[in-house]
């Protein structure tokens, strides 16, 4: 199961997941000037980030919207970035948040688990119903792929729908989490977690203990750290003995060079930021008392 590879990567390298949400204005002018195409400039930036961090981070998450915004040029960079990460023997999460049914979902599954955009994991939105997840399950079962499904997100708008309660006073996000947990039981890895994981933002930490306890065999993709306000104290509540989840950081790592005078060394500062984040989380894990 692909989840065993991710679990082992966390055990070896720590919980940091680098988000390659590469906006063009994140790229130093010196890099942009060297290339005649947007795709080459974006890929060069990503390549240097990957080269500088692949030995100290668990995986990479690529938010496809940043690439789609530049049309074909952007998608070329997206394709090349996925391929390069795999060449460095690292894992790729395609943050595509697809959520549709029937034949459309089958085509999304084919697009992101086969061919030019083939990734190890993809993110899905389940709020159209559980039948929107089914077309991806054959890839989880037969093709060594994994899913991270939205449960409770890190944005303020999460309260609009995810916190609505039913007649038993269960929140929508808890109901969704329970359904995903049940679905994931058929895809358990040796590590004790399922290849069907959940996205749980760390910016709302009040209910963290209940979420982790209820979804005990679910591996978490944890966004919201750093630029969105999530703290190490929030993160550790979703982990189990320093594993069981990955913590995504995009802007804090990609833009770490802006705290310094030398933008040509953006990859060096990205590595330093990733190491600092990893150490801060490790320290918090050691200090955390349930």
- The residue assigned the tokens 């998450």 is 61
State residue 156's pLDDT score: 83
pLDDT of res. 157: 87
Q: Indicate if the alpha-carbon torsion angle 71, 75, 77, 78 is positive or negative.
A: positive
The single residue listed with the structure tokens 């093709």 is 143
Q: Parallel, antiparallel, or unpaired for β 59-63 and 16-19? A: parallel
pLDDT of 57:
98
pLDDT of residue 207: 84
How deeply is 156 buried, as exposed, middle or buried, from its count of CB atoms within 10 A (0-12, 13-18, 19+)? exposed
Catalytic residue among 47, 83, 86, 97: 97
Q: Which two tokens stand for residue 159?
A: 């309260």
- The pTM assigned to this predicted structure is 0.95
Measure the CA–CA gap between 214 and 218, rounded to whole angstroms.
9
Q: According to the model, what pLDDT value does residue 25 have? A: 94
**Across the 290 residues of the chain, what is the mean pLDDT of every consecutive 10-residue run?**
98 98 95 94 98 98 98 98 98 97 96 98 96 97 98 88 92 96 97 97 81 95 76 88 95 94 94 96 86
CB under 8 Å to 223, separation ≥6 — which residues?
19, 153, 154, 199, 201, 202, 230, 248
Q: Is 165 a catalytic residue?
A: no
Structure-token match 């550790």, residue found: 236
Query: What's the CA gap between 253 and 61, in Å, rounded?
Result: 13
Burial 167-189 (b: 16+ CB within 10 A, else e): eeeebbbbbbbebbbebbeebbb
108 neighbors 133 (Cβ within 8 angstroms): no
List the domain boundaries for the chain: 2-179+194-203+220-287
H or E segment to which residue 249 belongs: strand 245-249
What is the second-level CATH architecture of the domain 2-179+194-203+220-287? Alpha-Beta Barrel (3.20)
Q: Is 125 exposed, middle or buried (0-12, 13-18, 19+ CB in 10 A)?
A: middle
């Amino acid at each position: 199961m692909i989840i065993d590879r991710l679990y082992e990567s966390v055990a070896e390298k720590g919980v940091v997941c680098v988000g390659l949400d590469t906006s063009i204005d994140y790229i130093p002018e010196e890099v942009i000037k060297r290339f005649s195409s947007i795709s080459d400039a974006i890929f060069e930036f990503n390549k240097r980030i990957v080269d500088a961090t692949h030995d100290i981070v668990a995986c990479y998450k690529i938010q496809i919207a940043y690439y789609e915004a530049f049309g074909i040029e952007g998608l070329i960079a997206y394709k090349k970035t996925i391929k390069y990460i795999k060449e460095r023997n690292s894992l790729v999460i395609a943050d595509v948040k697809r959520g549709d049914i029937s034949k459309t979902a089958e085509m999304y599954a084919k697009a992101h688990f086969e061919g030019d955009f083939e990734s190890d994991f993809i993110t899905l939105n389940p709020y159209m119903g559980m039948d929107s997840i089914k077309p991806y399950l054959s890839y989880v079962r037969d093709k060594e792929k994994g899913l991270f499904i939205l449960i409770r997100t890190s944005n303020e708008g999460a309260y609009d729908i995810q916190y609505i309660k039913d007649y038993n006073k269960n929140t929508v996000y808890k109901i969704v989490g329970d359904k995903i947990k049940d679905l994931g039981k058929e895809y358990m890895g040796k590590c004790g977690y399922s290849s069907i994981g959940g996205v749980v933002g760390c910016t709302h930490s009040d209910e963290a203990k209940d979420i982790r306890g209820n979804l005990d065999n679910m591996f978490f993709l944890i966004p919201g750290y750093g630029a969105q306000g999530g703290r190490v104290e929030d993160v550790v509540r979703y982990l189990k003995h320093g594993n069981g989840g990955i913590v995504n950081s995009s802007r804090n790592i990609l833009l770490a060079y802006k705290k310094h005078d030398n933008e040509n060394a953006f990859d060096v500062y990205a590595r330093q930021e990733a190491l600092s984040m990893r150490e801060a989380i490790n320290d918090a894990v050691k200090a955390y008392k349930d």
